[in-house]
Amino acid sequence: MKDISQLHAWFEANQREFPWRINKNPYRVLVSEIMLQQTRASVVVPYFEKWMELFPTLDALANSSLEQVIKAWEGLGYYSRARRLHAAAIFIVQHFGGSFPETKEELIKIPGLGPYTVGALLSFAFHKRAAAVDGNVARVLARYFLIEDSVQKAAVKRKLEGIAEQCLDEETPWITAEALIELGASLCSRKPKCEACPLQGQCLGYQTGKAEYLPLQAPAPSVTSLFRSVFLIQVQGAILVKKESAGRLMADLYELPYVEKGREPSFVSTSLPLVKHSFTRYVAHLTPYPLLFEKQSEALSFLRQCGIVSPKAYIWVELSDLKHLPFSAGHRKILRHWMSA
């Protein structure tokens, strides 16, 4: 890449202001990079700022419960990221005395840290020569070098990592690494703004008119629709909820009792407005039903009528305590609508 100086100049003049670009210690870099995976930067900002208030240091995060961590992540989605971040903090405290290692060989030992996150730590936190290839960088490089193959293939990913490392400036490689990410997020986005790009002069994708069609992507997975009846079961100021077990899609999150639509008893009729919730490869259509029982035993009997085989797995929570629990997004929406009605 011959136009690194133009890229650096563009980055210095156009980089966006984000809280994680202030005081780039390894912990702040780790939190921001994991939050930014699969999430737009504008969405991450308030979560990052709240996170730093709740868990200002690595030790603070490691000493917090997983439920506290999941609650702080509530609404950001892809909760496995929060679990990985928590596990990484505990590992660093236990195995590295609470200090981040500064070599690739040691960083890859930390559970949950993939090649991109390791590269980002080495580059942004320790100013070492290391590539950090996320989706933005992969898009820039695929267009610039006219790589007409799926960037999701393992071999192509390795190729891009090698190319990215070769592109890094000799004196300030961390600036190149971050500038490529910024370029991909702003100008070299899905619909490229080639006329404003500092790399336009040497970009093969632009020169051949193929930039808009690159990078090649694997077909998107199909989306499955789910239709569920969700029950707001209340007895004397307490509501029935369940914490999803480890290994399940909504692990560590609380949910209301639910069954597939059509399995609710016939006497259940009065419902609240439908709630639609998208996650991973699913779209859930949730119909909430508020139900008031005099006794807890009556509520558990109702669950059995619905075919819920383990009603004792549910717990009773006072309405005032619901705000302290992390809920899956769809069920959190239902609770908000119900409690504000």
C-alpha 232/C-alpha 291 separation (Å) is 6
In the numeric block, which tokens belong to residue 289? 């039903």
Q: Encode burial over 63-78: b for 16+ CB neighbours within 10 A, e otherwise.
A: ebebebbbbbbbebbe
Marked catalytic residue, from 12, 17, 33, 298: 33
Long-range contacts for 303-310 (Cβ within 8 Å, ≥24 apart)? 303/233, 303/240, 303/257, 305/265, 306/231, 306/257, 306/259, 306/263, 306/264, 306/265, 307/259, 307/263, 308/257, 308/259
Give the list of residues 6+ apart from residue 92 with CB closer than 8 angstroms, or none. 58, 62, 98, 99, 100, 110
Say whether 53 is catalytic.
Answer: no
Helix axes 173-186, 135-144, angle to 10 degrees: 90
Identify each DSSP E strand in the chain by its residue range.
224-235, 238-243, 254-255, 258-260, 275-279, 282-292, 315-318
C-alpha 200/C-alpha 214 separation (Å) is 15
C-alpha 49/C-alpha 32 separation (Å) is 10
C-alpha 256/C-alpha 218 separation (Å) is 36
Provide the CA 27 distance to its chain's centre, in angstroms: 17
Bridge partners of residue 291, in order along the sequence = 233
* Active site amino acids: 33
